[in-house]
Structures are given as C-alpha cells and as structure tokens.
Amino acid sequence: MSKIDTLEAVAGINAKENSMARRSRKKSKKQRIEESEARLKKRAKKLFENESGVIMRNNASQEKMSEVILKFIEPYRRYAGSTNAVNSLVALALVAWNTTLLPPEKRQESLEESILIMPEEMRDMCRDLLPEMMKRKQRYFSQYDRMVLDFEVADMGDGFHLSVVSTLDGE
C-alpha cells in the first residue's frame, strides 16, 4: 500500500466530498478558522476539566506549534491529497513527535502500542514511517520539547488550517 493510499485509508474517505466540506466552503476563511479553533478549545477544556494548572491561551512569546508541526510534516504533505488525509498525516506525525519526547527506554513500547491501535493493513507502513518521522523530529526539531495534546485540521477550500493544543516549554 502506498503512502497516499495509506493516508486516504486512515482518513476513511472516498472520492466524493461530504456535504459538510461543501457547506464549509461558503464560509469565509476567518470564520472557518475561528470555528475550528473553538471546537478544539471546547475539546481541550473538556479533556482537561479536572486538571489543575491547565492554562489555555496563545503564548505570543513562543513560536506557534501549529506552524512548527506544518514544517515538520512538509516532506510528507504531497502524500495527503485531501483534508482528511492531512488529518491522518498530522495524527501520525504527532505520534512520532510526542514519542520522541518520552524517555528513550519508553519510546519503543509507546510506539508499538500506537501501531497496534491502527488498522492492521497500515501497521507495516507505520512501522517504517513513524521511526523515519522520529528521526526527523530529533534531527531538525530537537529544540522543541512541547507535547501536542490535540489538534484540528480545518478545510479552507483551497487548502487547510491546522490548530493545536500543546504543553508549554519544559512541561
């Protein structure tokens, strides 16, 4: 199975666009981004409602993690022909990203657990792709120690917008 086929399979899509994607094109880009970020913020609040010390804000003093992740996935984006495939690509990339932030002795076990959750027909490809992505993270993005906790990819009609929730530096 090629990387393109795999990303499309993970996305669980067919060649036809769904009606939600068609409707979303009628909205302005700013409106789509705001709605996407609102959904992400709502999910994050629900996910962390019982956590003390969780702060949800944009930190202007730090580089936006969404921009960092977009740079991280750049070599793989040509394999993602749809917003759903981009969503799958980001999900795989974040498995690799977050795994590299674990202590070295826990990485392999975490990686195998993540692979076992994936559809069986994708596991071999993921066993090849995830270590490749982890090497990329360590080589070109080692200065970032922020774990990405959640994300949302929004269809912009002519592309997509990525929003992420991450820890702060050093947390």
pLDDT (0 to 100) of residue 53: 47
Mean pLDDT, residues 86-105? 96
pLDDT (0 to 100) of residue 167: 84
For residue 153, the SS3 value is strand
Residues comprising the chain, all counted:
171
Task: Yes or no: say if 169 and 62 are a contact pair by the CB < 8 Å rule.
Answer: yes
pLDDT (0 to 100) of residue 88: 92
What is the tens place of the pLDDT at every residue in 102-161? 999 999 999 999 999 998 998 999 999 999 999 999 999 999 999 998 999 998 888 899
Domain ranges of the chain: 3-166
The span from the CA of 135 to the CA of 142, in Å, is 10
Task: Yes or no: say if 129 and 4 are a contact pair by the CB < 8 Å rule.
Answer: no
Residue 93 has pLDDT above 70, yes or no: yes
- Rounded to 5 degrees, what are φ and ψ at 151? -155, 165
pLDDT (0 to 100) of residue 80: 92
Cβ count near 157 (within 10 Å): 14
Written in H, E and C, the secondary structure of 38-52 is: HHHHHHHHHHCCCCC
What is the tens place of the pLDDT at every residue in 25-63? 567 888 888 888 888 877 777 776 666 445 555 666 678
Q: Angle, nearest 10°, between helix axes 83-100 and 3-11?
A: 100
Give the DSSP H/E element, type plus range, for residue 99.
helix 83-100
pLDDT (0 to 100) of residue 145: 93
pLDDT band for position 19 (cuts 50, 70, 90)? very low
What is the tens place of the pLDDT at every residue in 1-18? 556 555 655 555 433 344
